[in-house]
Amino acid sequence: MDYMKKWLDRMGEIFLIDIGIGQNHSVIDFGCGNGNYTIPAAKVVGAGGRVYAIDKNKESLDKLMQRSEKIGLKNIKRIDVSEGIKVSLQEESVDVVLLYDVIHLVGNRRKLLTEMHQVLKTNALISVYPKHHQEYMNMELDDVKEEIKSAGFVFERMLYKTLMHDDYLEQGYVLNFRKQ
C-alpha cells in the first residue's frame, strides 16, 4: 500500500478539514518540511486561499515547490527563514497556523508563539502536533498545552488522529487552540 499517495490523494485533505481548515483560508505551515501538510492544505483552501510554507531548510522547500508544481498548485507561497523565526506577514491576517512535528526543534518557542499570535486573526486556529515532546522537550502533553495557553491562546480541543509522519502513517494527539 502506498500510504503517501493515499495521504496526498485525499486522506490529508480529510484530516485537515477535520482539524478546522476551510476554503479560502490563509494558512501558515511553519516548519513545513517537504510539504506533507502544505500540499493537502493548499487543496483544501483552494484558489481563493493561500498557504505560507515556512522553513529554514532550503532543500526541503525546493522539494515542496517541485511537488506542488507537479500537481499544478498555485496557491503556496514559500518563505525561507533563518533560525530567527521572523515571518514578516501582516498582523491579524492569518486564519490557521500549523505547527506539526516542529516545536521540539525550535530553540525559542516563546518567540515563535508570539510571532504566530501577532499574525493570526482574533479567534483564529493554531493547531499543534507536538511529536517528540517527551524525549526532546522533557514535557508531558499537558505541559505543552499550558505553555501554548500562556502565550495567549485558548485551548479548544484535543484530537487523536491518524496522520503522516515523514513517509508513514501514525496515530497521535493534535492540540487545537484559538487566539484570544
Q: Applying CB under 6 A, which residues contact ligand SAM?
A: 31-33, 36-37, 55-57, 60, 81, 83, 85, 100-102, 105-106
Q: Which of 58, 59, 15 is nearest to 37 (CA)?
A: 15
E strand or H helix that includes residue 162:
strand 153-165
Kindly list the distances between the CA atom of residue 166 and the CA atoms of 8, 33, 61, 111, 151, in Å, as whole numbers in the listed order: 13, 9, 15, 26, 28
Beta carbon of residue 138, minimum distance to ligand SAM (angstroms, whole number): 18
Nearest residue (CB) to ligand SAM, 47 versus 58: 58
Beta carbon of residue 142, minimum distance to ligand SAM (angstroms, whole number): 22
Beta carbon of residue 104, minimum distance to ligand SAM (angstroms, whole number): 8
Q: What gap in Å lies between CA 73 and CA 19, rounded to an integer?
A: 21
Beta carbon of residue 83, minimum distance to ligand SAM (angstroms, whole number): 5
What is the CA 120 to chain-centroid distance, rounded?
13
Nearest residue (CB) to ligand SAM, 33 versus 49: 33
Nearest residue (CB) to ligand SAM, 3 versus 123: 3
Q: Which of 139, 149, 136 is nearest to 175 (CA)?
A: 149
Beta carbon of residue 92, minimum distance to ligand SAM (angstroms, whole number): 22
CA angle at 125 for the pair 123 and 127, rounded to the nearest 5°: 155
Nearest residue (CB) to ligand SAM, 60 versus 118: 60
Nearest residue (CB) to ligand SAM, 86 versus 123: 86
Q: Say if residue 74 is exposed, middle or buried (CB neighbours under 10 Å; 0-12, 13-18, 19+).
A: exposed
Q: What gap in Å lies between CA 112 and CA 30, rounded to an integer?
A: 9
Nearest residue (CB) to ligand SAM, 85 versus 120: 85
Beta carbon of residue 100, minimum distance to ligand SAM (angstroms, whole number): 4
